[in-house]
Amino acid sequence: MKIISAITEMQRTADEARLLGKSIAVVPTMGYLHDGHLALVRIAKQNADVVIATLFVNPTQFGPTEDFNKYPRDVERDIKLAESAGTDILFVPSREEMYPTDYLTYIVIEKITSVLEGKFRPTHFRGAATVVAKLFNITKPHIAVFGQKDAQQAIVIRQLVKDLNFDIKIIVTPTMREQDGLAMSSRNMYLSSTERKESTVLYQSLQLAKRLIDNGERSCSKLISEMTKLITSKSSASVDYISIASASTLQEFSNLETGDNTLISLAVRIGSTRLIDNILLTI
């Protein structure tokens, strides 16, 4: 596995691969890799000749009171894991390389970024879309692989690619979970052992909603209230939001109807750690 930290070298390497007729897949990450990330690398490997994973804790997608400084970082460990999953090139730029002091350009995607996560993290998608667009221009991929774990991000990136005519195929892969259902996340390492036990309530509440829907419940306020009851029965948990919305437009439903492609998503604070999760359902 080749490790590259300069943008010009990454672009030249991508150009060389393209000249040889090779297809490129990119897997953008913020590092502290886990099996969810590695699943993305494996899917990338199945779909392209050259897999580039990127490792960059992107400051512009963190709000001023968020965890940018304490976000877990372990590049040596990530190098081993990325290589073991079949990464060909690991792109690890510095902050100065990505955002020199005279940096001025940001990408704003309207409407779909002001709901759900966007309501609680108003500058998050501006930062995420900007860094992804930059990484696309730097790694020159044919394919980019993202996780369903960040459902709204995947929708935002699809919109970005469509609106700005990036010639890139987006693949979204299922959420990888721990055995007890907790979605894998670099942030899970923040949890104390009691919090780790209580954190399973996110997925349990999504499963509860699915069961209630399977049994005929169609009222979203009823579903949200049952989910909230379950989540707040855990002393460390507090709900930022629970949303039952169209999986394509993110517009919230009040009542579910047959055929609705539905995204049930939530953000919950377990102690001071903010976790997100979601499931997709067709009613």
Residues in contact with ligand AMP by the rule CB under 6 A:
29-30, 36-37, 39-40, 146-147, 149-150, 173, 175-176, 183-186
The active-site residue, picked from 34, 37, 124, 142, is 37
And the tokens for 65?
Answer: 């009171």
Nearer of residues 185 and 224 to ligand AMP, judged by Cβ: 185
Active site residue 142: no
Nearer of residues 10 and 223 to ligand AMP, judged by Cβ: 10
Q: Name the residue among 95, 109, 100, 89 with its Cα closest to residue 28.
A: 89
Three-class secondary structure assignment of 77-104: HHHHHHHHCCCCEEECCCHHHHCCCCCC
- Amino acid 230 reads L
Give the shortest CB-167-to-ligand AMP separation in angstroms: 20
Q: Which residue has the tokens 């990484």?
A: 135
Give the shortest CB-197-to-ligand AMP separation in angstroms: 19
Give the shortest CB-219-to-ligand AMP separation in angstroms: 30
Nearer of residues 39 and 224 to ligand AMP, judged by Cβ: 39
Q: Which residue has the tokens 């377990």?
A: 270
Give the shortest CB-172-to-ligand AMP separation in angstroms: 8
| CA gap 155, 89 in Å, rounded | 26
Give the shortest CB-125-to-ligand AMP separation in angstroms: 13
Q: For 38-166, where are the E strands, in sequence order?
A: 50-55, 89-91, 143-147
Q: Which residue has the tokens 């049930």?
A: 264
Residue of this chain nearest to ligand AMP (CB atom): 147
Terminal-residue alpha carbon distance, the chain: 44
And the tokens for 118?
Answer: 């966007």
| CA gap 256, 212 in Å, rounded | 12
And the tokens for 86?
Answer: 């079949």
Would you please indicate which residues are annotated as catalytic (active-site) residues?
A: 37
